[in-house]
Amino acid sequence: MLIDFSFVENGILSIYGVLFILFFGLLTASIFLTLQFQIKRNYIKRKREKIKFEIYDFFSELVFSDDQSEYHYDNQIQNFKQKIPVDAYWCKDLLLYNIINLAKNFKGEQYNRLLAITFKFGLMDYIHSLLSSGFWYMKSKGIYFLKELNYYQSAESIFPFIFSKQANLRFPALLGYISLAKKNPLDVIKEYSNSLSPLEMISLMDVIKKRKLKKPDNLKNWLSLKEDTLLIFALKLVSYYNDLDSAPEVMNLIDNPNQRVRNEVFKSIGKLLLFEAEEVLIKSFYHENDQNQIEIIRTLKEIGGQDTIEFLYYILTLKRSSEVKMAAMNALKALDKNFSKINFLEDKKLDLMKKHVEDRYLENS
């Protein structure tokens, strides 16, 4: 007896049909939702751009208006609040960024007016809400606003964040505190538990130079810091403040086990013009990597005498990298008055290097 399987075939065909309809429906819905999302996103973007320009125009008119009375300010601010979604976080951010940009160009009474505007818009409450957030990046944002507003009264409220359990928050807090604290702001570095990246050191030095902060007391004691990057930063401060009192401590660090620390030591010796270090540097040269050897040569260029000149000519006879030999050539040009009379015709590479360092066009370019 033969069995009819046609219903199975029909069943399979009907399943494929259902699957096709479902797939087509899902694809259509997905495309529709994507288009809707894109349209809404573009709408929000255009709306925010429009409000961004409205805020800019508002502040430009308000700050430069003939009427600078508090009544006029209050009236204009209250009216403007009705035109923008002032309670939205992104709108508060736009208001703050505009105030910060204006504050960079104003001092005295004009700056105080801008600070008053910050309060009138309720933006200080917003900043404090950021500081109270459980997320480190929100707190960091709040610290950034306070720092950029130069709101010095907030230094003490920022201070605890330097020791936060949230490691990513510590440096923004350190930078904010040093930017705002009035009394001995740099002393906090000695208590800092994080390491400092090269970029973070640059940021700190920018603040120190901008605020013209005075040299910390007993800076030489900082050269006993155990954390390598903090020690490197302390050496940068020694160089920046030309702290000759720290000279013995700097010399004691020449044999530090960390090559990056030693590199900064060599720089400090050059900046402080510690001529007594010449012999020690020459002896240290042979134990260093290329980068440190180049830094030693640069320092000897500043403090070296006849011993250095003889040493540099000797380097040129050794198997050293082109970068090291080029640094030696540059130093010899600065130190040896007879350098121009020396020829290296027997060594084409050295001859080319000499021509390179003597090329006036390259020197001035």
pLDDT digits (tens, 9 = 90+) for 168-213: 999 999 999 999 999 999 999 999 988 999 999 999 999 999 999 9
pLDDT of residue 64: 80
Q: Of 7-16, 172-181, 209-218, 291-300, give the lowest mean pLDDT range.
A: 7-16
pLDDT of residue 44: 64
pTM of this structure: 0.82
pLDDT single digits (tens) 14-27? 676 666 677 777 77
Q: What tokens were used for 239?
A: 């160089």
Cα dist. 219→11, 175, 211, 225, 246 in Å? 87, 19, 18, 11, 7
DSSP character for 247? H
Cα dist. 91→63, 81, 86, 99, 303 in Å? 19, 11, 6, 12, 57
- Label residue 365 by pLDDT band (50, 70, 90): very low
pLDDT of residue 78: 92
Torsion region of 103: left, alpha or beta (phi above 0 gives left; psi -120 to 50 gives alpha) = alpha
Cα dist. 88→8, 43, 53, 289, 309 in Å? 60, 16, 16, 55, 68
Query: Average pLDDT, stretch 100-111?
Result: 84
